[in-house]
Structure 1
Amino acid sequence: MRLKLLLAIAAMGLGMSAHAKEYKYVTVPGDMMQTRIYTLDNGLRVYLSVNKEKPRIQTYIAVRTGSKNDPAETTGLAHYLEHLMFKGTKQFGTNNPEAEASLLAEIEQRYEAYRKLTDPEARKKAYHEIDSVSQVAAQYFIPNEYDKLMATIGAEGTNAYTSNDVTCYTEDIPSNEIDNWAKIQADRFQNMVIRGFHTELEAVYEEYNIGLTSDSRKLFATISKMLWPNHPYGTQTTIGTQEHLKNPSITNIKNYFNKWYRPNNVAICMAGDFDPDKTIATIDKYFSTWKPGADVKQPTFAPLPALTQPKDTTIVGPEAERVWMAWRAKQANALQADTLQLLEDVLSNGRAGLFDLDLNQTMKVQRANGGTELLRDHGAFFLMGTPKQGQSLEEVRSLMLAEIEKLKKGDFPENLLPSIINNKKRSHYQLLESNEGRADMFVNAFINEVDWKQEVESINRISKITKQELVAFANNFFTNGYVTVFKKQGVDSLQKKIDKPAITPIPANRDMVSQFVKDIQNAQVEPIQPKFVDFKNDMTTLSTKKKLPLYYVKNNDNGLFELVFFYNFGKSADNRYEMAADYLRYIGTDKMSASDLRQKFYELGCDWSMNVSAENTTVALYGLSENMPQALALLEDLLQHAKADKEAYDKVVGLTLKNRSDAKKSQGVYFNYLYTYATVGKRNRMTDVMSEQQLKDTDPQVFTDLLKGLANLKHRVVYYGPMAEKEVAGLLDKTHVSAKKLADVPQNKPYLEQLATTNEVLIAPYDAKNIYMRMYHNEGRNWNPEDEAVIEVFDEYFCSGMNGIVFQEMREARGLAYNAYAAYRTPSWKDRKEFFLTHIITQNDKMNDCIAHFNEILNEMPVSQAAFNIAKEAVTKRLVSARTTKIDIFYEFLTSERLGLDKSYNELIYKNLDKVTLQDIVNFEKANIANKPYRYIILGDEKQLDMKALEKIGPIKRLTTEEVFGY
């Protein structure tokens, strides 16, 4: 249908003249988000969608430029700039912009000279001079003032990301802070100043180091180069090269900013609780002075060389082996995207696609999936497979190609296409529930230049694609012109070690506050009144005729439901249930095979899951409410009549053992195991699993009996959906199988954190250029609910976020890490203990500096009244704008129940928040954190670490990989 052009009159009510400006906007009939799309006079695009669920707004500012637009001689530039956008302007981030300006100009020129030097000694001398000038400039720098501004207005999720075609800046703000947010962002995007450059560069390099052990990143870079060999998608990566990362150009960054960061190349995307008429007027008020760019047209590139024959390559890395394949596709805004989306779901929708049923369900491979990557200039269709134990990558590729051949022959069920449409509608409903999901759609449409009408009508168009058309497309699309990357395990000899630079820490200047920040702090906004969950009124508690406790929350928004059977026991009581949950996905009943069941659930637009955590077990059913009765009957039949299958069980055991082996090869996963072992002990939530021998010796009938036996154990039922209470209770009485008298559940044997009251070092081996390290202290402090407000403010002030002391000192001032934080953990059960930890990922030769400075700020915490005020204000605004809704009402009730509270956890904090002072934070830190012994938990290659320095800390305990994983 033709787009409607409507008029909206902005009635600001802020002393404006009677002749308020009229703002034209575009809408699309049938758009469930009721999106308004404005284009201001300077070309700035604004997408607005109202969602009144809670008084918060997801904001994205998307710039249509990314690593594709990087100059070839300074790759990584777009990503650099993303980081530098947090450093401030002439109005904030500095206490004297005039005095600072000449020093920043000198630093810029020195970097231009430095990047051209090749002699190591000359470079060292030049870098020392840059560091010296940076120290002088730093006296005027107020680090993290942007983050202080965001904390002041109660923002969450302060971050940004860069990809091939986009750089996007994200904030989740309270609904009463639109004016302050717009004022800050308009200044930021028009008047960015580059400062604190050399320490931020080092943080970016640490980000690069983290990626060195990510084989997925290497896989994508390699396959992109094969697909697009003469386009920036293939010739340069977002993070950039080592050489370019160490030889940056501030001049190039400024030129890039001035070219691409223009209003006619930017979109503001907002979803949440706001008045769109007032909001667009506010945006225009602050952003209208932003001058459009003379040329923001995207660059064009030579046509891609033909790809008519298969091409293979092999890369190596530390993680598990896998194979990726890809075919070229058209760009994101081509209508081909509709067919590709349908194609993706026919092959790999996670439940009933060809890969799902023929490869994953039958366990012919460890796992396999496929999907599209549609970018602004080009696209691709990917297949990804991981081999079983003893299986070759070539065999995995052959199996995936065989499924492509089935697709090309039309060898899939007739009802699959309508089922896909059903599930796409369900997914769309779910997306609409999220402000972030809505805003993400806006960003993608803007960056890829997809007309909003085309986006809104996509499901309708896809629903009209026939099986015959899809098969014809598949035959034309899946030709021999594909590429393959075999990722094998091994050591990448091309990785280079980079020594840490000689950086003099810059001062944090946290007591300094610019006038701009003061103005924002003093700005008067209409307050949001806190609204905490009321368990008696927001959730109905009743019993079914079978005496099952039912917790009911009404869904008044859409036709989706969630039904959860909740059991108060988990793997700590009996670790066999975890295996039973895994096994259940691969078996059927005496009437329906596992594949039949998957297809039936998918046809109904419903799905189920069974999750076994440390201390509770849930069986959940969710999807389209209209089909809930049939889906529940199917699930009950599966649980009661699951048919043990020895052949399937043996394959599940094989997959389980392979997954365990693969876990040891991932640096991040390995560290999670190490940390859990070091803090809980040999028996913990990650290692308390059935042994290989137990798995092989167990009759699979044991697991089907456990599943059937759930009907005899005490449990609660949780429902969120559009059905009436009596209707839900009646359906449960009719369909849900449960014994007349329910037995007590197995007794949990909790995994409890150990005391850590002496200095010691636990180290496990992993060959990498960086280490993961945590410091852990636990003296068995009892939980006190009256301390929660102090702890919450302490966490904001010291531990987490870019405005916290840890981030400022470890990253901003010293460039020691990309990832650094601390946390004071309180228990989820009232009778358990509190503990404290620090976390950092850093280059091997920075370990000593990290340890020394962590101890320095722990033992003598920097104290700042100004920083405390901001932290407390951030916590306050976050709490007053928080809302607990949907099924989360039950889970917050559960948290309160475990803690022995008669109110919500947030309300407990808010009740005591006003009384919290800076001295309370200081006293708390001195009593519980300062000058305490710590257990240092390190994953790394000790051949590259200063072990003598670690010996001075305390006794070193070397752990083997087998000890850490328990197998």
Structure 2
Amino acid sequence: MKLKSILSLLALAVATTAAAKDYKFETVSGDMTKTRIYTLDNGLKVYLSVNKDKPRIEAHIAVRTGSKNDPAETTGLAHYLEHLMFKGTNHFGTNNAESEAPLLADIEARYERYRQLTDAMARKQAYHEIDSVSQIAARYFIPNEYDKLMSTIGAQGTNAYTSNDVTCYTEDIPSNEIDNWAKIQSDRFQNMVIRGFHTELEAVYEEYNIYLTDDNDKLWSAIGKKLTPTHPYGTQTTIGTQNHLKNPSITNIKNYFRKWYVPNNMAICMAGDFDPDQVVAIIDKYFGTMQPGQDVSQPIFPAQPVLTTPSDTTIVGQQAAFVCVAWRGEKAASLQSDTLDVISSMLSNGRAGLFDTNLNQPMKVMAAQAFCQTQQDYSSFVLYGVPRQGQTLEEVKDLMVAQLDNLKKGNIDDDLLPSIVNNLKRKYMQALDNNRWRVSEMVNSFVNGDSWQQHANSIARIEKMTKQDIVAFANRFFTNGYAVIYKTQGTDSLAKKIDKPAITPIPANRDMVSQFVKDIQNTEVTPIQPVFVDFKKDLTLATTKKGIPVVYKKNTDNGLFYLGFAYDFGNQDDNRYDMASNYLNYVGTDKYSVAELKRKFYKLGCDYGISVSGNRITIRLNGLSENMAEALSLMENVLQNAQADQASYDQFVSLILKERDDDKKDQRNCAEHLYAYGVYGSRNIYTDMMSADQLRNTNPQELLDLIKGLRNMKHELYYYGPMELKDMTAVITKLHATPKKLQDVPHATPYQATQTPTNEVLMAPFDAKNIYFRMYHNEGRPFNLADAGKISVFNEYFGGGMNSIVFQEMREARGLAYSAGAVYTRPSKKSDKESFFANIITQNDKMGDCISEFHNILDTIPQSEAAFNIAKDAVIKRLASQRVTKSSVIDRYFSMRKLGFDYDINETIYKDVQRVTLQDIVNFEKSQAAGKPYRYMILGNDKELDMKVLERIAPVKKLTLEDIFGY
């Protein structure tokens, strides 16, 4: 090479180095997440935390604005804008932005006129005109292109949420797609276009109808009104009012977007497998050109009145009664939050708090807990209690306040505070594995305005607190200025549903693809090579000296352990074990009371429990490895020496019967019971339980003796922790005494999914403004691994997400449902069969349309090669970036073994997916789902439903709640 050329290259290298931007960042000493915090020139905050566990990244974009910032005349705006952010930009979501623009402007102007009209006929005509113009604009609209983009890059967890103070957009992406992700997001946040407006508004209506049946939403609204009466926390809700939802303003939404969706009011928060130096440069490349907003300071509201006396209010709803007592706290960034978090643990930590030991364990109430809800401007500290049978809400309130008075008097154990600190550290170590947790902490810090230094060092500050500090604070904070919310059970006369408007379905245009999407599809990235778990290498199978099989994996990351004893039988074989395991939580032993036992485990930083499923019982112990032996010894003592007494058992039975009655008052819970009944028949995991008479007439010690006898039955143990296999099994052999010959476990008739040879309609009652609707088909087809690849792609293409055929047709094109999906399921164990089901949540007056349109897409399966390729790529990229690590290896081993495999079938599926064609999917759907008989399951109010629609399918079998619950 000539000298001149060499010098030219050197000069270029020097120039390139000099031009490289030096990104400054902040870190916090002792921060185990090792988060870097950057601030770009335009004010955009970037939080980055590296976790190499798997080649994926949790990526959230937080905007520091929520329903608190809604204009008073158009509440619900922030939440509705969140929905519209998925509709695309002037680059994607459209095939011709220039031609589409004047039509969208016309729709906007028409909505501004519509919202001023009061005459019903004039409004109906104006809405008809909006619908007509929307049909023309829809010719250019490509629905769900954002979701197609996310599927193209292999994202999952595509979603968003809005609260009082924040709107946050969430993704989980493969680590090789950062550049594409940033390119898509920067376009989305700079060039958002509002389209598909009236059909998406229907989705918000549906969400509002769900809100009407959720009493927890009513609770937070009531707390806000009481504690912050002149602040938006108390004057408006995130979902908005019915009147405002009926009269939306696209103009207001645009103004809101321009004010708040600016870089100096946003944060990009990421955790996962990446090089932070490269990532911040990519983010700057795409987001650095965004112009900062001139004024993003949060609105200032009048100081809230000082609360000096108790006040109360009552809310009504169909769910079970409860009572809350709430105090107003300072903003989330205040150090007061540390102390309130500690106090919440002192009152209720599930084991050793004052509520736990003095109310829950002795069963003086159905349930009681305390927690702190932090927010940007004001926080709230809440006591929450559920009454026993025959107990008044006032009695529950008084019992909780009395325990709070105990704390104010210092009547707490001296070792409680150190135990809380130890358990906070343990919880922190457990959470570090979770990228979503890391990112959520970043979002909270950004939104609430507490520095990362403050946020990351909370445990260090809490360690310095003393019991005297806590007591003194409690006496200052918990004054008589509290609010009491009585939630009574009944029909809410104020709940009025939003009626279905006349919407002409818009075209799905699924064969259309914008150039932007094509560019992303054609972008070459270094592929992630799949790594599948190898049980022979990643696990150790052994036996203890007494011959108990062991599944072992060493934890090389931290000092936590997970130990389990697994039994190959469950509720289907003997339904008493479920009650026995529950009752065990309320009794002590010959040496310790139940409160003493809970405190001992809490002090050790360990938990134990027994879970009973249909075909498996597991005794688990987990926590700090240094205390495993002591905790195991204590657990064995509990299992072998638990002492029943009739008085505690009678109280326990009363709680169980009250809990069963309360379960019938929750719509979602009723829907799950109906589905189990529809799939398995009258004997299923929900209905197969000890009857009230059986419970009352059972000797409680016999129940506890069932638990005691488990040690004598055949079982295996699994362990994930830092101990060596030899040392661990030695501890087990010493402390887990078993006989030389173990007994066989009991086996009875298993729960068996029933087949659907003919159409059937099952209907159960629930008085609500919406229905839960499922269709189920089962023709007894055994699991076939050869079809698993096709099934994976079919689910992604047809019904598995927002980019699926079902979601597009039912929600995007027609506005028929808030939630709509379908899935072909493979069984969880070898003896089970494959099945297909669809799930829809919709308004009562849309049921007929939902059934008709779903069958239309089911029987014709709309075909699009473009949509298929996106779905297939999504499955391939997710499988390639999936990693089964740590304790999940043990879980995966058990799940594969139940199916009859000694290897991970995902490797086979990954290879098979590469060969799947659209015609394969069509053929599969035609043979396994289209034109088949179905069992229809509807939970709703038959007085508000068009029953003739159902009767045309098959005779309607009306069930009672007693039928589907078994009592």
TM-score by structure 2 length? 0.98
- Who is 1:248 aligned against? 248
What secondary structure does 1:933 align onto?
coil
Tell me, in whole angstroms, the C-alpha distance in 1 between the residues paired with 2:564 and 2:932: 43
Residue of structure 1 equivalent to 2:457: 457
Whether contact under 8 Å (2:40, 2:284) holds in the other structure is yes
Long gaps (5+) in structure 2: 1-12
Aligned to 1:98: 98
2:205/2:498 contact within 8 Å kept: no
Match of residue 287 from structure 2: 287
How do 1:30-109 and structure 2 match up within 5 A? 30-109=30-109
8 Å contact kept, 1:760–1:954 = yes
SS in 2 for 1:506: coil
Cα distance in structure 2, aligned partners of 1:380 and 1:162: 19
- Give, as a single letter, the amino acid of the residue that structure 2 aligns with 1:25: F
Matching of residues 124-203 of structure 1 within 5 Å: 124-203=124-203
Cα distance in 1 for partners of 2:509, 2:873 equals 20
- Counterpart residue identity of residue 588, structure 2: G
2:947 aligned partner: 947
Report whether the alignment pairs 1:355 with 2:355: yes
Matches within 5 A, 1:235-384: 235-384=235-384
Equivalent position of 2:204 in the other structure: 204
- Partner letter of residue 450 of structure 2? V
After TM superposition, list the pairs within 5 Å mapping 1:761-776 onto structure 2. Answer: 761-776=761-776
Corresponding position of 1:671? 671
User: What amino acid is the match of 2:168?
Assistant: C
Q: How many residues align?
A: 954
* 8 A Cα contact 1:713 1:743, kept in partner: yes
Q: Secondary structure at the residue paired with 2:537? A: coil
Give the SS at the match of 2:609. strand
Q: 1:566-615 deviations in whole A, cap 9, x for unaligned?
A: 11111001000000110111111101111100000000011111100000
Deviates more, 1:890-899 or 1:683-692: 890-899
Q: Does 1:528 align with 2:552?
A: no
Report the Cα offset of residue 18 of structure 1: 5.7
Using the TM superposition, give the Cα deviation of residue 905 of structure 1 relative to its aligned residue in structure 2, in angstroms.
2.9
Q: In the TM superposition, what is the alpha-carbon distance from 1:831 to its structure 2 partner?
A: 2.7
User: Any idea what the Cα deviations from partners look like across 1:816-864, whole Å, max 9, x if unmatched?
Assistant: 1111111111111223211111111111100100000011000101000
Q: Is the 8 A contact 1:95 1:514 kept in 2?
A: yes
Distance 2:752 2:180 in 1: 45
Aligned to 2:3: none
For each residue in 1:113-137, what CA deviation from the matched residue of structure 2 results, as whole angstroms up to 9, or x when unmatched?
A: 0011111100000000000000000
5+ unaligned residues in a row in structure 1: which ranges? Answer: 1-12
Q: Distance in 2 between matches of 1:495 and 1:33?
A: 45
Encode CA deviations 1:85-116: one digit per residue, 9 max, x unaligned. Answer: 00000110000000000000000000000011
For residues 391 and 148 of structure 1, what CA distance do their matches in structure 2 show? 53
1:843 match: 843
- In 2: Cα distance, 1:532 partner to 1:215 partner: 44
Contact 1:570 1:748 in 2 (8 A): no
The aligned amino acid for 1:314 is: T
Per-residue deviation, residues 280-319 of structure 1 (Å, max 9, x unmatched): 1111111111110000000000010121100011111101
Is contact 2:209–2:498 with CA below 8 Å preserved after alignment?
no
Scaled by the length of structure 1, the TM-score of the pair is 0.98
Describe how 1:888-899 pairs up with structure 2 within 5 A. 888-899=888-899
Q: 2:209·2:497 contact (CA, 8 Å) conserved in 1?
A: no
- Displacement, 1:749? 2.5
Which moves more between the two structures, 885-894 or 93-102?
Answer: 885-894
CA gap 1:956/1:334 in 2 versus in 1, 3 angstroms: same
What is aligned with 1:710?
A: 710
Distance across 2 between alignment mates of 1:498 and 1:601:
51
Identical positions, percent: 64
> Structure 1: which amino acid aligns with 2:379?
G
What corresponds to 2:618 in structure 1? Answer: 618
- Note the C-alpha offset of 1:219: 1.1
1:895, 1:905 within 8 Å by CA — same for their partners in 2?
no
> Are positions 1:476 and 2:476 aligned together?
yes
Residues 615 and 748, structure 1, Cα contact 8 Å, conserved in 2: no
Whether the aligned pair in 1 keeps the contact of 2:823 and 2:837 (CA below 8 Å) is yes
Q: Is the 8 A contact 1:344 1:371 kept in 2?
A: yes
Mapping of residues 509-658 of structure 1, within 5 Å: 509-658=509-658
Q: Whole-Å Cα distance in 2 between the matches of residues 705 and 497 of structure 1? A: 52
Matches within 5 A, 1:384-395: 384-395=384-395
Superposition CA RMSD, Å: 1.0
Separation in 1 of the partners of 2:50 and 2:554? 21
**C-alpha distance in structure 2 between counterparts of 1:536 and 1:477, whole Å:** 58
Which whole-Å deviations, capped at 9, do the CAs of 1:459-490 have from their partners, x for residues lacking one?
A: 11111111111111111111110001111111
Following superposition, the deviation at residue 911 of structure 1 comes to: 2.4
* Deviation of the 1:16 alpha carbon: 6.2
**Counterpart check, 1:736 vs 2:751:** no
Measured after TM superposition, the shift of residue 17 of structure 1 is 5.9
Amino acid at match of 1:597: L
**1:743 is aligned with what amino acid?**
Q
Deviations 1:708-730 (A, max 9, x none): 11111111111111111111111
Task: Show CA shifts across 1:203-227 (max 9, x none).
Answer: 0110110111111111111111111
- 1:694 match: 694
Secondary structure of 2:176 counterpart: coil
- For residues 61 and 622 of structure 1, the distance between their equivalents in structure 2, rounded to whole angstroms, comes to 34
Return the offset for 1:643: 1.1
What is the rounded CA distance, in whole Å, between the counterparts of 2:911 and 2:901 in structure 1? 13
Residue 908 (structure 1) shift = 2.6
AA matched with 1:276: P
For residues 243-299 of structure 1, the C-alpha deviation after alignment (integer angstroms, 9 at most, x for no partner) is 111110000000000000000000000000000000111111111111100000000
Distance 2:28 2:949 in 1: 65
Give the drift of 1:961: 1.3
Contact 2:424–2:459 under 8 Å retained in 1? yes
SS in structure 1 of the partner of residue 480 of structure 2:
coil
Contact 1:756 1:933 in 2 (8 A): yes
State how far apart, in whole Å, the 2-side matches of 1:497 and 1:526 are.
51
How far residue 890 of structure 1 moved from its aligned partner, in angstroms, is 1.4
Contact 1:570 1:615 in 2 (8 A): yes
Separation (CA, whole Å) in 2 of partners of 1:197 and 1:573 = 53
- 2:901 maps to 1:906: no
- Report the more deviating stretch, 151-160 or 16-25: 16-25
Give, in whole Å, the separation in 2 of the partners of 1:559 and 1:497: 53
Question: What is the CA–CA distance in structure 1 between the aligned matches of 2:905 and 2:608, rounded to whole Å?
Answer: 29
- Counterpart Cα distance in 2 of 1:850 and 1:614: 33
* 1:148-202 per-position Cα deviation (integer Å, ceiling 9, x unaligned): 0000000010000000000000000001100000000010011100000000000
- What's the counterpart of residue 6 of structure 2? none
**Secondary structure at 2:385 match in 1:** strand
Q: Find the aligned partners of 1:140 and 1:247 in 2 and give their Cα distance.
A: 25
Q: Alignment partner of 1:780: what SS? A: coil
Q: Which amino acid aligns with 2:864?
A: S
Whether the aligned pair in 2 keeps the contact of 1:562 and 1:623 (CA below 8 Å) is: yes
1:773–1:939: 8 Å Cα contact kept in structure 2? yes
Q: Distance in 2 between matches of 1:505 and 1:803?
A: 17
Aligned partner of residue 536 in structure 2, secondary structure: coil
What secondary structure, in the 3-state scheme, does the structure 2 residue paired with 1:169 have?
strand
Q: Which amino acid aligns with 1:636?
A: E
Q: 1:902 offset after TM fit, Å? A: 3.0
Deviation track 1:696-719 (CA, whole Å, cap 9, x = no partner) reads 000011112111111111111111
Write the letter of the residue equivalent to 2:271: A
Where does residue 5 of structure 2 map in the other structure? none
Name the aligned partner's letter for residue 471 of structure 1. V
Whole-Å separation in 1 of the counterparts to 2:497 and 2:554: 57
Which residue does the alignment assign to 2:791? 791
Q: Secondary structure at the match of 2:640?
A: helix
Amino acid at match of 1:313: T
Match of 2:4 in 1: none
User: C-alpha deviations, 1:605-655, integer Å up to 9, x for none?
Assistant: 111111000000001001111111111110011111111222111111111
Q: Match of 1:876?
A: 876
Matched residue type, 2:618: T
